[in-house]
Structure 1
Amino acid sequence: MMINVREFLGNNFGIEDAIVLREEIKKNLNDGVTLDFTGMERVPSTFLTCLFSDLINKNGREAIFNAINVNNLTNYSDFARVVMGTTFLN
Protein backbone atom coordinates (compact mmCIF):
# COMPACT_ATOMS: atom_id res chain seq x y z
CA MET A 1 0.00 0.00 0.00
CA MET A 2 1.25 3.48 -0.88
CA ILE A 3 0.58 6.25 1.63
CA ASN A 4 1.33 9.82 0.65
CA VAL A 5 2.12 11.19 4.10
CA ARG A 6 1.46 14.83 3.20
CA GLU A 7 -1.98 14.02 1.78
CA PHE A 8 -2.78 11.70 4.69
CA LEU A 9 -1.72 14.07 7.50
CA GLY A 10 -1.85 17.48 5.86
CA ASN A 11 0.76 20.21 5.86
CA ASN A 12 0.73 21.00 9.57
CA PHE A 13 1.31 17.65 11.21
CA GLY A 14 2.57 17.11 14.74
CA ILE A 15 4.07 14.29 16.75
CA GLU A 16 0.58 13.13 17.74
CA ASP A 17 -0.24 12.54 14.08
CA ALA A 18 2.36 9.78 14.01
CA ILE A 19 -0.12 7.68 16.00
CA VAL A 20 -2.79 8.12 13.32
CA LEU A 21 -0.33 7.18 10.59
CA ARG A 22 0.96 4.22 12.62
CA GLU A 23 -2.57 2.79 12.85
CA GLU A 24 -2.91 2.97 9.07
CA ILE A 25 0.45 1.24 8.68
CA LYS A 26 -0.59 -1.51 11.12
CA LYS A 27 -3.69 -2.27 9.04
CA ASN A 28 -1.56 -2.84 5.95
CA LEU A 29 1.72 -4.10 7.37
CA ASN A 30 1.32 -7.66 6.11
CA ASP A 31 0.92 -6.42 2.55
CA GLY A 32 3.88 -4.05 2.73
CA VAL A 33 3.72 -0.30 3.05
CA THR A 34 5.43 2.49 1.16
CA LEU A 35 5.44 5.90 2.79
CA ASP A 36 5.84 8.71 0.28
CA PHE A 37 7.12 11.96 1.79
CA THR A 38 6.86 14.00 -1.44
CA GLY A 39 6.58 17.72 -0.77
CA MET A 40 7.71 17.50 2.83
CA GLU A 41 10.81 19.09 4.23
CA ARG A 42 12.89 17.33 6.86
CA VAL A 43 10.69 15.10 9.02
CA PRO A 44 11.67 15.35 12.71
CA SER A 45 13.33 12.23 14.09
CA THR A 46 10.98 12.50 17.08
CA PHE A 47 8.07 12.00 14.67
CA LEU A 48 9.80 8.96 13.16
CA THR A 49 10.52 7.54 16.63
CA CYS A 50 6.88 7.94 17.67
CA LEU A 51 5.76 6.42 14.37
CA PHE A 52 7.95 3.34 14.49
CA SER A 53 8.74 2.54 18.15
CA ASP A 54 5.56 0.57 18.87
CA LEU A 55 5.83 -1.29 15.56
CA ILE A 56 9.46 -2.19 16.30
CA ASN A 57 8.63 -3.40 19.81
CA LYS A 58 5.87 -5.66 18.50
CA ASN A 59 7.46 -6.90 15.27
CA GLY A 60 11.22 -6.39 15.56
CA ARG A 61 13.54 -3.99 13.77
CA GLU A 62 14.33 -6.25 10.84
CA ALA A 63 10.67 -7.01 10.11
CA ILE A 64 9.72 -3.32 10.09
CA PHE A 65 12.74 -2.36 7.97
CA ASN A 66 11.75 -5.01 5.43
CA ALA A 67 7.98 -4.29 5.47
CA ILE A 68 8.10 -0.51 5.19
CA ASN A 69 9.68 1.40 2.34
CA VAL A 70 10.09 5.16 2.26
CA ASN A 71 10.24 7.40 -0.78
CA ASN A 72 11.30 11.03 -1.05
CA LEU A 73 12.35 11.35 2.60
CA THR A 74 15.00 14.06 2.73
CA ASN A 75 16.49 12.65 5.93
CA TYR A 76 16.46 8.93 5.14
CA SER A 77 19.41 8.36 7.47
CA ASP A 78 17.21 9.40 10.42
CA PHE A 79 14.63 6.82 9.37
CA ALA A 80 17.31 4.13 9.11
CA ARG A 81 18.74 5.01 12.51
CA VAL A 82 15.33 4.97 14.17
CA VAL A 83 14.30 1.67 12.61
CA MET A 84 17.64 -0.15 12.68
CA GLY A 85 19.04 1.45 15.83
CA THR A 86 21.60 4.11 16.60
CA THR A 87 24.56 2.02 15.40
CA PHE A 88 23.24 1.82 11.83
CA LEU A 89 25.53 3.69 9.46
CA ASN A 90 25.04 4.51 5.77
Structure 2
Amino acid sequence: MEILVKDVIGAEYESEDAIILREFVRDALNEEYKEKVILNFDGMGRIPTTFLFSFFTDLINTKGRDYVINAVNVKNLSNSRDYKRVLLGTAF
Protein backbone atom coordinates (compact mmCIF):
# COMPACT_ATOMS: atom_id res chain seq x y z
CA MET A 1 0.00 0.00 0.00
CA GLU A 2 1.45 3.36 -0.98
CA ILE A 3 0.45 6.45 0.97
CA LEU A 4 1.07 9.92 -0.46
CA VAL A 5 1.90 11.78 2.74
CA LYS A 6 0.76 15.13 1.36
CA ASP A 7 -2.75 13.69 0.87
CA VAL A 8 -2.93 12.65 4.53
CA ILE A 9 -1.44 15.68 6.32
CA GLY A 10 -1.29 18.35 3.60
CA ALA A 11 1.66 20.33 2.25
CA GLU A 12 1.58 22.79 5.17
CA TYR A 13 2.12 20.66 8.23
CA GLU A 14 3.49 20.76 11.76
CA SER A 15 5.65 18.15 13.46
CA GLU A 16 2.60 17.16 15.50
CA ASP A 17 0.94 15.98 12.28
CA ALA A 18 3.24 12.98 12.49
CA ILE A 19 0.72 11.61 15.01
CA ILE A 20 -2.03 11.75 12.38
CA LEU A 21 0.17 10.01 9.84
CA ARG A 22 1.28 7.42 12.40
CA GLU A 23 -2.31 6.51 13.27
CA PHE A 24 -3.17 6.28 9.57
CA VAL A 25 -0.24 3.90 9.02
CA ARG A 26 -1.03 1.94 12.18
CA ASP A 27 -4.56 1.36 10.88
CA ALA A 28 -3.17 0.21 7.53
CA LEU A 29 -0.79 -2.19 9.26
CA ASN A 30 -3.53 -3.58 11.50
CA GLU A 31 -5.63 -4.57 8.49
CA GLU A 32 -4.00 -8.00 8.33
CA TYR A 33 -0.62 -6.77 7.17
CA LYS A 34 0.03 -8.41 3.82
CA GLU A 35 2.20 -5.85 2.09
CA LYS A 36 4.57 -3.10 3.04
CA VAL A 37 3.37 0.41 3.61
CA ILE A 38 5.26 2.84 1.43
CA LEU A 39 5.24 6.46 2.56
CA ASN A 40 5.64 8.67 -0.50
CA PHE A 41 6.94 12.11 0.50
CA ASP A 42 6.66 13.50 -3.04
CA GLY A 43 6.25 17.29 -2.99
CA MET A 44 6.99 17.60 0.73
CA GLY A 45 10.51 19.07 0.72
CA ARG A 46 12.78 18.43 3.69
CA ILE A 47 11.02 16.65 6.54
CA PRO A 48 12.21 17.68 10.02
CA THR A 49 13.90 15.01 12.10
CA THR A 50 11.43 15.77 14.89
CA PHE A 51 8.60 14.75 12.56
CA LEU A 52 10.33 11.46 11.72
CA PHE A 53 11.09 10.85 15.40
CA SER A 54 7.47 11.51 16.40
CA PHE A 55 6.23 9.22 13.67
CA PHE A 56 8.54 6.24 14.22
CA THR A 57 9.17 6.19 17.98
CA ASP A 58 5.74 4.98 19.07
CA LEU A 59 5.53 2.45 16.24
CA ILE A 60 8.95 1.07 17.19
CA ASN A 61 8.02 0.90 20.88
CA THR A 62 4.73 -0.89 20.26
CA LYS A 63 5.50 -3.10 17.26
CA GLY A 64 9.27 -3.49 17.48
CA ARG A 65 12.11 -2.09 15.39
CA ASP A 66 12.40 -5.15 13.11
CA TYR A 67 8.69 -5.11 12.36
CA VAL A 68 8.76 -1.42 11.42
CA ILE A 69 11.90 -1.83 9.31
CA ASN A 70 10.21 -4.63 7.38
CA ALA A 71 6.71 -3.15 7.18
CA VAL A 72 7.30 0.55 6.42
CA ASN A 73 9.37 2.00 3.58
CA VAL A 74 9.79 5.58 2.42
CA LYS A 75 10.00 7.06 -1.04
CA ASN A 76 10.95 10.55 -2.29
CA LEU A 77 12.30 11.61 1.10
CA SER A 78 14.96 14.28 0.64
CA ASN A 79 16.70 13.60 3.96
CA SER A 80 16.83 9.81 3.93
CA ARG A 81 19.95 9.89 6.13
CA ASP A 82 17.91 11.34 9.01
CA TYR A 83 15.23 8.72 8.39
CA LYS A 84 17.76 5.91 8.66
CA ARG A 85 19.19 7.33 11.87
CA VAL A 86 15.77 7.63 13.49
CA LEU A 87 14.68 4.20 12.33
CA LEU A 88 17.89 2.47 13.41
CA GLY A 89 18.23 4.46 16.63
CA THR A 90 21.71 5.74 15.85
CA ALA A 91 23.19 9.01 17.08
CA PHE A 92 23.64 12.10 14.93
Map 1:74-89 → 2, pairs under 5 A: 74-86=78-90
Give the equivalent residue in structure 2 for 1:71. 75
Query: Does the 8 Å contact 1:62/1:84 carry over to 2?
Result: no
Structure 2 segments unaligned to the other structure (5+ residues): none
Give the equivalent residue in structure 1 for 2:9. 9
Structure 1 counterpart of 2:76, which letter?
N
Match of 1:42 among 25, 40, 46: 46
- 1:56 and 2:60 matched: yes
1:80: how far off?
0.9
Percent of matched pairs sharing the same residue: 47
Query: Does the 8 Å contact 2:42/2:77 carry over to 1?
Result: yes
Equivalent residue pairs, number: 88
1:73: how far off?
0.3
Give the equivalent residue in structure 2 for 1:21. 21
TM-score for both structures, normalised by structure 2: 0.88
Taking the aligned partners of 2:9 and 2:45, their CA distance within structure 1 comes to 14
Structure 1 counterpart of 2:25, which letter?
I
Q: Structure 1 stretches (4+) deviating beyond 3 angstroms? A: none
- CA RMSD between the two structures: 1.4
After TM superposition, the structure 1 stretch with the greater mean CA deviation from structure 2, 69-78 or 22-31, is 22-31
1:66: how far off?
0.9
1:6: how far off?
1.1
